[in-house]
Structure formats: C-alpha cells, structure tokens
C-alpha cells in the first residue's frame, strides 16, 4: 500500500507522458517529444527506491504510450471482429497491458545498474534488450518503437548506419545522459550526446548508397474496395474488373503494383483472369505484381505476391504459370488476423477469433527477390515491413526496389495507416533503396532512398499513382550488418556490469 501511495502521482504523470508520445509519430511528427518523455522516465527510474517501483514507472509509461499510440487496433476489432464493445475493449486492454511489460522490464533492469557512472549506456542497453524481446515474443509486435519518431526527424541520417533500432538506442542514451546531468551533474555523457548530435548533419557522406541516372516508370493501383465487400463472393467480378480497368491505360509503365490480395479469388480459381492479364502485360512489355491468396491441394494457404507479364527483359507470351517459383509467400503472419495462437481453444471463444483468412501457412524466412521486367524487388507483405531483420536477411547487391503491399482498410480513418507508412519509410532509409507501397485504400506512396516522399494517392479514393522513380546502387552499413553488432554490444555491456556487481557484492 505504501508503494501505491508514494508512486501514484508519478506513475500517473508518466502514463500521460507516454500518451503524449503519440504526437511524435505520423501524422503529427513532433519528433523531439520522446527525448523529453524518456528523460522524465529516466529521472524517475533513477529516483525510484526499489526495482519494483522503477518497473511500475516503466509500466505506467507503457500504458499511456500504447493505449493511445495503437488505439487504431480497436477499429479492426470493433468493426470486423463481431464482438460486443465490452469484449473488444477487454482484448485491447490485454494487448496494452502485455506491451507495457517491456518498458517495465527495461526500467527494472536499468534500476539495478543505477549506481554506475555509465548508467546512460546501461539504460540504452536494457531498453534494447526489452525491445528485442517485444519484436520476437509471440511473433513480435515492434510497432511504435521510439526510433520511428525520427523517420523524418533530425536523427534520420543515422538510419543507413545503425537502423531504427540503433536510433532507438541513441535516444535512450540521450535520455539517460540528460537524467544523470539533471540529478548528478555528470557532464561526460552529455558531452558524448552533444558530439553525436553535432555529427548528424554530416552523415550523408557515409550513407553507403549512390543515386544513378536511371529511372524506372512505375504505376501503383489503389482500388479503394470497402472492407465489408472485399471477400463477398458476389463482388469478386466487380473488384477484378475495377483493377483491370484502372490499370489498362497505364500498362505502358515498366512496373505496375497492385495491393495485398487485390485479386479476391484464390489463385487456382483465378487462373483464367491471371493468364489473360499475364499475356496483356507481356504484350505491353511490362510486369504486374499483385497480392493474391493461394490454396494448395495439401491444405496449406499462403498470403502472397505473384508477378504477371515479363519477368525479364526478353519479350515472351507471358512468363506466369501456376506454381511458378517467382512469387513471395508471407513469412511474418499477423496474430489473430492470419493465424490464431491456441486456435483449438480461442476459435470457440468468440467470432473475432474466426476471422476470414486467419489460418495461413508461413513462407520461408529467406526468399529470392521477385523478378519483374528485369528488376529485383525485395517484398514484404503488410505487417512484415515493421521487421527490419527480415528485410536485411533478404536484401542483396542486386536488389533494385523495396516493395510492400497492404490493406489498411481494416483501420478506417485512424492514425494506423499513417504510422504504417512511416515505418515503411524507415526501411528505405536503412537499406538505401526506393520503396514502392501499394494499398487498397491508402496510403499508396513511393519513397526515395533518402526517405523523401516522391508521391502519394489520397486515402479512400481509387486511382493510379504514376511516377518515374530514380534508382540507387551501393550498400548501406546497416544492410550489411543489421542489428547484430548493437545487440551483441548491449548484451556484453549488461553481462560485464552484472558480473562487476556480483564480484563487488561478494567482497
């Protein structure tokens, strides 16, 4: 009870500051906010009398952070889950409570090392370990990692070197430095922070990639099919006709991209339509990449992408055939939406756990880039774009574009699609390649390798985004090393200071 009485007001304040973080991400983009809120959290952790109270502070910060920041998840649950409001709110509350565990873990670990002069480094390492767990446990949910607040912010030039994970590490290092300066007047870590800030504008010289003189004509199609009609059998023909009509006059482009599951029939049932489009695209010397669902005779189902028309530069009658290896099958499935954990139990609990297309098989972790009209496209389907390690694992010297297709109609007019696009932009910065993003109802966009938005379509409107996209070459440091160096350093730092504490206590 004493803990609750002495912690209530600081915990409430930290919950409010965590909620305030939402303004740092798209569409608001007040990039500096997490530096202030994380500094407040770091100060409270340093002042906490016990690890339990430090964990409470981290947990409270997480409650505000996730309850507001991912409130858009409730839109899909409430609108398409078939559950009463009280049940959907309960599921949302469980998700927020679960995610809040990770900042609580980071705060509790950091409190254990509070006496060291290198505490800012320890805080950053503890946070990185906790966030790595959040991106892995139960298949992972790394949304709203603090580094994404810098996608178009001051620290963005660090992305080609250390990625979003590294930027998150830096932000916690900065927050810890400000905290120890405020409480202990330690100048050393603040001096390091100042040097890192000062170096940031000059990092363009070492980004690792270069622009070429070549441009590729690209068309991205946004059908704007209402979510409640996407899987209605009576609407299949209308949807397929709409995509064909929107695309026909743009088939003079070198690449055409349709969104996730743009074709509402299973691939084996849509072969006549696919072969017709394949021949038409080949005749017009283009390639069409589309999302589609595949159902195998053995019962496996995949959410994937296929290429129609020209795979390579040589003109053929169309290179597509059912069973072709030139396809992508989604690896990182969305819990509940694409697979149901403990499904033998949960599918009987509520209709929400029996959503259409919620029993997919998993594609391989590493898959070849898609071949489309002589270009190589590194594919990621929807939620997968939030997992940089998967992108790095499939990136190679010959990758020309990053490609992600999605259907964010699940989330209505919420902030979710804006955050999704922001995450995709970070992948372009990290890997130094232009990114093509086609969605059902927005936000369809093309992102340059430096994170600049080359063009987008308005949300909730059908249309075609037509652009000349400049190509790049070369490798960023992050594309070669990924997160492993920083993860290894963090674990070694934590292990070293833990052993030091154990030996000191044993004397």
Instruction: Give the up-direction half-sphere exposure of residue 491: CA atoms within 13 A in the CB hemisphere.
Output: 9
Q: Is 348 exposed, middle or buried (0-12, 13-18, 19+ CB in 10 A)?
A: exposed
Round to whole Å and give the CA distance between 177 and 190: 5
330 catalytic per annotation:
yes
Could you give the residue ranges of the DSSP H alpha helices within 331-434? Answer: 343-346, 388-394, 416-431
Round to whole Å and give the CA distance between 436 and 471: 12
Q: Which of 121, 127, 111 is nearest to 193 (CA)?
A: 121
* Three-state secondary-structure class, residue 220: strand
260 catalytic per annotation:
yes
Alpha carbon distances (Å) from 482 to 200, 204, 390: 20, 19, 10
Alpha carbon distances (Å) from 415 to 34, 339, 456: 18, 24, 16
Q: Which distant-in-sequence residues (6+ apart) come within 8 Å of 78 by Cβ?
A: 85, 88
* Sign of CA pseudo-dihedral 498, 499, 501, 506: positive
Given 131, 236, 260, 267, the catalytic residue: 260
Phi-psi region of 87 (alpha: psi -120 to 50; beta: other; left: phi over 0): alpha
Could you give the residue ranges of the DSSP H alpha helices within 114-187? Answer: 119-134, 159-184
Given 330, 338, 384, 422, the catalytic residue: 330
Round to whole Å and give the CA distance between 331 and 304: 9
Given 131, 382, 384, 430, the catalytic residue: 382
Q: Which distant-in-sequence residues (6+ apart) come within 8 Å of 453 by Cβ?
A: 425, 445, 446, 447
283 catalytic per annotation:
no
Say what the alpha-carbon torsion angle 277, 283, 330, 435 is, to the nearest 10 degrees: -120
* Three-state secondary-structure class, residue 91: helix
Q: Which of 462, 471, 408 is nearest to 250 (CA)?
A: 462
Active site residues: 260, 330, 382
């Amino acid at each position: 009870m004493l803990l609750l009485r002495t912690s209530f007001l600081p915990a409430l304040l930290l919950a409010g500051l965590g909620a305030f973080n939402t303004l740092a991400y798209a569409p608001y983009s007040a990039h500096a906010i997490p530096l202030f809120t994380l500094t407040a959290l770091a100060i409270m952790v340093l002042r906490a009398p016990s690890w339990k109270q430090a964990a409470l502070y981290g947990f409270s910060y997480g409650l505000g952070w996730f309850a507001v920041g991912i409130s858009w998840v409730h839109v899909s649950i409430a609108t398409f889950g078939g559950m009463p409001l009280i049940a959907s709110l309960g599921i949302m509350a469980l998700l927020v409570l679960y995610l809040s565990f990770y900042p609580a873990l980071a705060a509790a670990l950091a409190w254990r090392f509070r006496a060291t002069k290198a505490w800012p480094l320890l805080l950053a390492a503890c946070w990185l370990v906790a966030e790595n767990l959040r991106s892995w446990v139960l298949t992972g949910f790394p949304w709203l990692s603090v580094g994404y607040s810098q996608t178009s912010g001051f620290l963005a030039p660090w992305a080609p070197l250390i990625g979003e994970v590294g930027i998150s590490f830096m932000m916690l290092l900065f927050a810890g430095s400000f905290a120890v300066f405020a409480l202990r007047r330690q100048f050393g870590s603040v001096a390091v922070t100042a040097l890192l800030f000062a170096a940031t504008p000059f990092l363009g010289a070492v980004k690792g990639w270069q622009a070429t003189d070549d441009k590729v004509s690209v068309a991205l199609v946004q059908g704007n099919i209402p979510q409640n009609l996407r899987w209605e059998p009576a609407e299949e023909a209308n949807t397929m006709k709409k995509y064909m009509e929107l695309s026909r006059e743009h088939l003079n482009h070198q690449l055409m991209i349709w969104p996730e599951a743009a074709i509402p029939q299973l691939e084996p049932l849509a072969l006549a339509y696919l072969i017709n489009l394949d021949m038409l695209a080949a005749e017009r010397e283009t390639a069409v990449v589309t999302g589609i669902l595949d159902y195998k005779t053995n019962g496996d189902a995949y959410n994937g992408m296929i290429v129609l028309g020209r795979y390579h530069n040589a003109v053929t009658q169309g290179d597509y055939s059912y069973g072709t290896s030139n396809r992508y099958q989604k690896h990182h499935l969305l819990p509940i939406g694409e697979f149901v954990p403990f499904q033998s139990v949960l599918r009987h609990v509520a209709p929400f756990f029996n959503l259409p297309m919620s029993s997919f098989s998993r594609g391989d972790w590493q898959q070849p880039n898609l071949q489309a009209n002589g270009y190589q496209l590194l594919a990621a389907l929807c939620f997968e774009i939030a997992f940089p390690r998967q992108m790095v694992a499939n990136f190679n010297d010959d990758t020309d574009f990053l490609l992600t297709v999605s259907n964010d109609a699940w989330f209505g007019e919420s902030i979710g699609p804006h955050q999704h696009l922001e995450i995709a932009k970070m992948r372009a910065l990290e890997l130094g390649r232009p990114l093509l993003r086609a969605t059902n109802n927005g936000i369809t966009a093309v992102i340059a390798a430096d994170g600049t938005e080359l063009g987008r379509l308005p949300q909730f409107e059908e249309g075609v985004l037509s652009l000349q996209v400049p190509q790049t070459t070369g490798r960023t440091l992050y594309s070669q090393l990924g997160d492993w160096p920083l993860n290894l350093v963090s674990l070694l730092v934590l292990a070293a200071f833990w052993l030091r504490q154990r030996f000191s206590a044993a004397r």
